Amino acid sequence: MPAMTWRALLALCAIAPALPSLARADGAFPDSFQLILPADRAHQLVLGTNFGLVISEDDGVTWRWVCEEAIANYAGLFEIGAPPSDTLFAVSPAGLFLSSDGACTWQAATGGDGITDSFPDPSNPARVVALAAVTTDGGAAVDAVIESTDGGKSFGHALWTAPAGAKLTGIEVGRAAPHPIYVTLYGHDAEQRPQPRIARSTDGGASFQLTAPSPALGMATPRLAAIDPDDPTILYLRVSDAGGERLAISTDGGASFRVAFTTPSRLTAFLRRADKSLLVATQDGELRRSTDGGKSFELRSSKVHVRALAERAGRLFAAADNANDGFAVGVSDDAGMTWQPLLRFDQLCGPVDCPNLHKTCAEPWHVLIATLSISGCGAAADVDAGDERSIDLGRAAPPPRGCGCALGHRAPPASCALLLLATMFALSRRRSGMRRRARRRRGR
C-alpha cells in the first residue's frame, strides 16, 4: 500500500474517538466540487466541498468553514440565489436547505420532500425551481418539476410531471429573457437503453414542450452543463455513456444537438466565459478552450485537475484537487495556462464568525485540524495568537513530522487495528456519494 495511504489510515486511527462528530467527507477524501462567485459581492468566494462550505470574504486571502453538521448531512449541489438576497441552497438526502444570512443558519424547505436538484431563478430572488419525486393520485412515484415563490422556503404543487418511467436529471433557468426553464431527462427504448431528451418551458412553467430524442446524443445520459447567458436558445449539455463523456451544443433550444468535444474519461467542469470562449476540463487533468463556438478545442493545461470553473472581472477561478494539485482554489490570468493558488485545505482559519457555528462546528473543527493537518490561517499569515475566537476554536498547532497530522486522541491498539481493517475495506469500495451526484450534474 502506498505510503500516503498508510499515513491517512494512521491519522484516522488516531482520531477515531472523534470520528462520529464529523461527517468525514462523506466517506471520501476531502475534495472540492463547486465554486460560487456572487455577482454583487465582489470579494466573496464560496467553495462547495464534501465536508461543508468554505468561504472567503477577502478575495481568497483567508478562508473559513461551515461544517456539514450546521447545514445537513451529505449536503451538496450548492447554489446561490439572485441578488440582493444571495440565498444559499444545498440539497441533501433530507431535502433542500437554505440560508439567507451568509451560511450562519440553515432551514429546511417545506413541501419539497425528495428534492434531487434545485436551481434559483437568476432574475427573481423569490423563485426557485427543483426536481423531486411526487406521488400521483394512483399512488405511483414520478419525477416532477416543483416551484417555490417565497425564496425556497416552501414548495407547492408540481408544475410538470415527467412521462411514465422517465428520469429527470437536471434543471436550470436561463438568465436572458424569456428566462426559459430547461429540464434534462431520459426514458428507455424497447431494449431498456437511455433515450436522452429535453423539456423546455418559455412561459414560466405553465407548459412544457418535450423534444424528440436527438440522434447526436445516442443512448447517453444527459445533464445540463449551462444555458448560454446571452442567448437562451443555446444549450450546453453533458452526456455520458460507457465510452466516455461528451459536450453537446444546441442552438435551437434543444431540438437538435451537435457533439463539440469528446473524452474517454469524464468531464469535470464547463464554463462559457464573458468573451464567449468555452472551457472544458476532464478527469485526467486536461483543460481545453474553444474560441470558435465549440468547433475546435485547444489544450491550455494538462497539470491541474479542475473540479469547477468560475469567472470574475476577466479573471478565471478554479476549484482543484487539493491532494494532487497542491491547492483547492486557484486563479489564472492567462486563460488557464498557469495558476496562482488561493487556498490549500491546511490554511483554513476555523468556522465562519457566527455564534451558533462556533458551538456547532467547534468539535468537528478540532477533528478537521487533525484530518487536514491544518497548521496556518490563510494564504498570508497564521491566526493571531491573541485572537480569543481562534483560541476557543482550537487554533491548529504546527503538525509534527512523521505522520503529518496534529493528533489530539489515540485509540487503543485493538481498536486501532479494527479501524485500520474497516478503513482499508471502505477505501477499497470508495464511494463519493453526493460529490458524485454533483459532478454528474452540470460539471460546474
Boundaries of every domain in the chain: 23-340+429-441
Task: Please give the grid coordinates belonging to residue 394.
Answer: 482550537
The average confidence (pLDDT) of the chain is: 81
Which residue type is seen at 415?
S
C-alpha grid cell, residue 331: 486563479
Asked whether the predicted pLDDT for residue 149 surpasses 70, the reply is: yes
Residue 401 scores a pLDDT above 80: no
Mean pLDDT of 242-253: 93
- 267 grid coordinates: 468531464
Cell of 325: 494539485
Residue 377 above 50 pLDDT? yes
- In contact, 283 and 290? CB cutoff 8 Å: no
Judged against a pLDDT cut of 70, whether residue 426 lies above it is answered with no
For 296-335, b where at least 16 C-beta lie within 10 A, e where not — what string? ebeebbeebbbbbbbebeeebbbbbbbeebebbbbbbeeb
pLDDT mean over 350-358: 91
- The pLDDT confidence band at residue 285, using thresholds 50, 70 and 90, is very high
Write the class of the CATH domain 23-340+429-441: mainly beta
| Cβ contact 80:88 at 8 Å | yes
Nearest of 198, 177, 196 to residue 186 by alpha carbon: 196
The percent of residues above 90 in pLDDT, for the chain, comes to 64
* Range with lowest mean pLDDT among 265-269, 340-344, 364-368, 375-379: 375-379
How far is the C-alpha of 243 from the C-alpha of 236, rounded, in Å?
A: 19
